[in-house]
Amino acid sequence: MSGAGLCASCGYAKTIASGRGPVYLLCRRALTDPRFEKYPRLPVISCSGYDRLPATAAAESSESK
């Protein structure tokens, strides 16, 4: 997801496509930690919960979009 900032390469980020067209970015860390927003305002430029995806997973993630 372009324009997502750190979320584009974070292991906790998951894209959610709605049935009406928009695509949202879900922060799965927010499901267990109330300090994080479930649907953060993008682009995220700083995040204490950021956990970079391994290089192979990041490449696969960008190819599947």
Give the pLDDT confidence of 1-56 residue by residue, as tens digits.
678 899 999 999 999 998 888 999 999 999 999 999 999 999 999 999 999 988 65
Higher pLDDT, 60 or 7: 7
Higher pLDDT, 8 or 65: 8
39 part of a folded domain? yes
In this prediction, residue 54 carries a pLDDT of 80
Helices then strands, counting H and E runs in the chain, come out as 1, 2
What kind and span of H or E run contains 13?
strand 13-17
Which residue range forms the structural domain that includes residue 17? 6-57
32 part of a folded domain? yes
Q: pTM for this structure?
A: 0.75
Measure the N-to-C terminal CA separation of the chain; round to a whole number of Å. Answer: 8
Higher pLDDT, 64 or 51: 51
Domain count, the chain: 1
